[in-house]
Amino acid sequence: MTAPATSGAAAETILRVSGLRTQFGAEVIHDNLELTIERGEILGIVGGSGSGKSVLLRAMVGLIRPAAGQITVLGKDITALNDAARAALQKRIGVLFQDGALFSSQTVAQNIMLPLAEHTDLPPALRLEIAELKINMVGLPPDAANKYPSELSGGMRKRAGLARALALDPEILFLDEPTAGLDPIGAAAFDQLIGELRQALNLTVIMVTHDLDSLGAICDRIAVLLDKRVKVGTMQSLRQDTEPWIHEYFHGPRARAALDHIAGVDDQR
């Protein structure tokens, strides 16, 4: 696993969730949830079905308004921002949703240029140049620029969605199940790409994932959603946790296979 970008320096809190309560009608998803994320780290978010992983991610990016609590992103309380301030903050955040969320009627380049057109006054030629740069940055071939999402493989669509998430050079990157649906080779390549981009761009990455290989390969810490709150630790510390769900998750057959795979990769380095 690559060392976090903040290694050797005083940790800077880049996102803080305090006393978070989210609910839909009478159903409470999170209650008094606390979470702190440091600049430059990769944090994985896991939890059982219905634990509210994606709901937490959407709350942190400002797409869901919590019933109570505070979410501070880059020093701004996103629950208290006006429209102009929220738009300014959104420019500093990139989001990759599980399906890529690309517009099917537009080419890859056009998809990437959308946030540039919305948030900047750059001329079209420069927007296209930036889109081509992002396409190269995520490892797509140049001819992907003029292709439509339906013409891409699942892995290429993920990378195209990532390129769009990076269009505005964000400081924080949110990923929702980034390796879902990818074969093991494609998933490992995507993990490697995220680790390299974190280092090259000094990104902070927050990713919802079920992929134990990803958790062990690139995540500095893991946040486990449990009983409407969160417990945070490293892969090693959480494997020592005696709470039944956590113990089963990190000691089950898939966890053992992931750890064996990671150990094998480390041995080859």
pLDDT digits (tens, 9 = 90+) for 162-174: 999 999 999 999 9
Tell me if 265 is assigned to some domain: no
CATH classification at residue 137:
3.40.50.300
pLDDT at 262 over 50: yes
pTM: 0.90
Domain span including residue 159 = 13-235
Tell me if 31 is assigned to some domain: yes
Query: Stretch 136-160: mean pLDDT, rounded?
Result: 94
Q: Looking up tokens 């709150």, which residue turns up? A: 229
Number of domains into which the chain is organized: 1
pLDDT tens readout for residues 22-53: 999 999 999 999 999 999 999 999 999 889 99
Tell me if 242 is assigned to some domain: no
pLDDT at 75 over 60: yes
251 vs 2, residue with greater confidence: 251
Q: Write down the pLDDT at residue 253.
A: 67
Tell me if 255 is assigned to some domain: no
pLDDT at 116 over 60: yes
Query: Stretch 106-116: mean pLDDT, rounded?
Result: 96
Choice among 70-74, 81-85, 113-117 with the minimum mean pLDDT: 81-85
Tell me if 36 is assigned to some domain: yes
pLDDT at 261 over 70: no
Averaged confidence pLDDT in the chain: 89
Tell me if 250 is assigned to some domain: no
Tell me if 5 is assigned to some domain: no
Q: Write down the pLDDT at residue 6.
A: 47
Q: Write down the pLDDT at residue 256.
A: 56
Q: Write down the pLDDT at residue 90.
A: 87
Q: Give the pLDDT band of residue 7 (cuts 50, 70, 90).
A: very low
pLDDT tens readout for residues 218-239: 999 999 999 999 999 998 899 8
Tell me if 175 is assigned to some domain: yes
Q: Write down the pLDDT at residue 227.
A: 93
